[in-house]
Amino acid sequence: MKDRNYYLAKAEENMPKIIYSELKPEASQEVFKKGDSILLDLGNHYVGHFSFRLDAAEYFICAPVKMKIRFAEDSREVDDDFSSYDGDLPSSWLQEETVILDHHMTVDMPRRYACRYIKITVEATEVKVKLSDFKFLASTSADMDSLKAADIKDEELRKIDEIAINTLKNCMQTLFEDGPKRDRRLWIGDLRLEALANYCTFDNREIVKRCLHLIAAGECNELGFLPSYIFETPEFHTGWAHLSDYALLYVVTLCDYYKNTKDIDTVNDLLDLCKSQLKSFRNILDENLIVVKQKGWFVFIDWCKGLKSLTALQGVYLYTLEKFTELLESIGDSEKEAYEKHLDDVRKASRKHLFDEEKGVFVNATDEYQKSVHSQVWMILGGVIEGKEAEKALKTMLKDAEAKQPFTPYMRHYIVEAMLKIGLKDEAFSYIKEIWGGMIKLGADTFYEVYVPGDPDFSPYRDRMINSLCHAWSCTPTYFIRNEL
Ligand code: RAM
């Protein structure tokens, strides 16, 4: 295995170029007195830096001018009462600044924001002031000129594709961010889906390569799993979470990368690391080859409260093993047969210990007999059931009011993938229209971190205001639309 400096150097070599565009939102008013406010509309969701000019409109600025500046991803956020925020994550993610200025000047806001709307309120001033020259310098590493053309006949799907690409574009900065408002870092689960959407749209291979090497540079935990996220600013830093499903999806990301690029050098750089992830996972299987619960936050799957996720996690392992075996086959690796044999053994064991043959669904003691869509989806993706049997298991749980249902577009991606795998193409595209189309009906310019039809206030962090409305893992309809239609 290579060392951290090697991986970081590779990541640096593949730094994408940032493309800037200057937006000049129109103002309806120029002169402001205490209490006045203005709402600027960029016309779409963007990520970038804001600047404006402050001058006296009469006499001279003789007392400090205090302003509140709010950056909102959608129109609802413009007037949300941030003082009532009571979520689990720090309120400092809410995009609002209080600015106090002593004299006329050009104000360059130091932070980067993700927004469509900017609301400025003059809270205190002695004289009337003039606000002008509003500029938003938008940034992305997605080059719109390189966007692959697609002839999408269905108007609803064409719109979904457009919003998905806008989501991906705004998350593509110097790395694949999960959300440009929050958390602004590289998470493996998001990376895998962004990379998939990227191949069929911008096809920026460097950024995928960079992200693969950045994660590789992170420190593994005591079980041997890679960090689920890393920071790159102000310097590289390993994240504290080491989710085992994300560690597996790192391997999948390399498999997808090779399939799309045939870049054998990168595979050679990262192959041993991937083998070590699979070995670490194998170490947490019991004597029946079923995964054992570990302490702390060790598996994600979905933001579904109370979800028992061992069956789904077992499915992620099988899914990864299958893709990894294919990779080994295509590069002629001598260990391919051993992995294939293990895949077969784990599949058989999964059916034996996790499937209820009588009911035809994955409901088992391992997950305390909890019913969930998640278990069925990942067991289908893991190849344990297929055809009519799979269709029945999935449809039964999707209809069951007592079964745990998905909460994130991330988990919903895998539902669509499972539907397509078992030939339910019409259902898959109706589902895309219901979920991603549902966000568009709410006015989305980019797809949200979480979306639960009929419950627009749902938040995994207990307060909707902290949710990210442009979230990487929600960008994959473009992948399905472009590859399946
Ligand atoms: C959230 C982020 C991120 C995701 C993790 C598990 O904190 O939204 O996208 O990957 O959860």
Give the pLDDT band (50/70/90) at residue 485: confident
Ligand 1 pocket check for 178: Cβ under 6 Å: yes
In eight-state DSSP terms, residue 141 is S
Angle separating helix axes 310-331 and 373-381, nearest 10 degrees = 20
pLDDT at 190 over 90: yes
How far away, in angstroms, is 126 Cα from ligand 1 center? 45
Counts for the chain of helices (H) and strands (E), in that order: 14, 11
Ligand 1 pocket check for 187: Cβ under 6 Å: yes
CATH 2.40.110.10 assigned to 20-140: no
Ligand 1 pocket check for 300: Cβ under 6 Å: yes
Mean pLDDT score, 421-442: 98
> Ligand 1: which atom is nearest the Cα of residue 229?
10
How far away, in angstroms, is 242 Cα from ligand 1 center? 12
Whole-angstrom distance, CA of residue 351 vs CA of residue 366 = 13
Query: Over the stretch 314-357, which tens digit does the pLDDT of each residue have?
Result: 999 999 999 999 999 999 999 999 999 999 999 999 999 999 99
Mean of all residue pLDDT scores within the chain: 98
Kindly state the tokens that stand for 57: 């409109």
In eight-state DSSP terms, residue 481 is H
Determine the length of the chain: 485
Whole-angstrom distance, CA of residue 166 vs CA of residue 92 = 25
How far away, in angstroms, is 38 Cα from ligand 1 center? 33
Whole-angstrom distance, CA of residue 313 vs CA of residue 381 = 11
Q: Nearest Cα to 474, choosing from 449, 451, 456, 457? A: 449
Mean pLDDT score, 356-375: 98
Kindly state the tokens that stand for 18: 């940032």
Mean pLDDT score, 369-378: 98
CATH 1.50.10.10 assigned to 150-484: yes
Give me the percent of the chain exceeding a pLDDT of 90.
Answer: 99
Ligand 1 pocket check for 183: Cβ under 6 Å: yes
How far away, in angstroms, is 453 Cα from ligand 1 center? 20
Q: φ and ψ at 24, to 5 degrees? A: -120, 90
Q: Nearest Cα to 249, choosing from 306, 301, 307? A: 301
First to last CA, the chain: 40
Query: Over the stretch 45-75, which tens digit does the pLDDT of each residue have?
Result: 999 999 999 999 999 999 999 999 999 999 9
Query: Over the stretch 261-277, which tens digit does the pLDDT of each residue have?
Result: 999 999 999 999 999 99
Give the pLDDT band (50/70/90) at residue 168: very high
Domain extents in the chain: 20-140, 150-484
Which residue's CA lies nearest to atom 5 of ligand 1?
Answer: 187
pLDDT at 281 over 90: yes
Ligand 1 pocket check for 303: Cβ under 6 Å: no
In eight-state DSSP terms, residue 112 is -
Mean pLDDT score, 117-132: 98
Ligand 1 pocket check for 427: Cβ under 6 Å: no
Whole-angstrom distance, CA of residue 400 vs CA of residue 417 = 20
Mean pLDDT score, 393-397: 98
Ligand 1 pocket check for 449: Cβ under 6 Å: yes
Ligand 1 pocket check for 473: Cβ under 6 Å: yes
Q: φ and ψ at 471, to 5 degrees? A: -125, 130
How far away, in angstroms, is 344 Cα from ligand 1 center? 32
Q: Nearest Cα to 414, choosing from 250, 173, 249, 235? A: 249
Which residue's CA lies nearest to atom 9 of ligand 1?
Answer: 178
Which residue's CA lies nearest to atom 1 of ligand 1?
Answer: 183
pLDDT of residue 424: 98
Whole-angstrom distance, CA of residue 311 vs CA of residue 355 = 9
Whether the Cβ atoms of residue 321 and residue 381 lie closer than 8 Å to each other? no
Q: Nearest Cα to 122, choosing from 67, 164, 168, 191? A: 67
Which residue's CA lies nearest to atom 6 of ligand 1?
Answer: 300
Whole-angstrom distance, CA of residue 236 vs CA of residue 308 = 33
Whole-angstrom distance, CA of residue 371 vs CA of residue 362 = 8
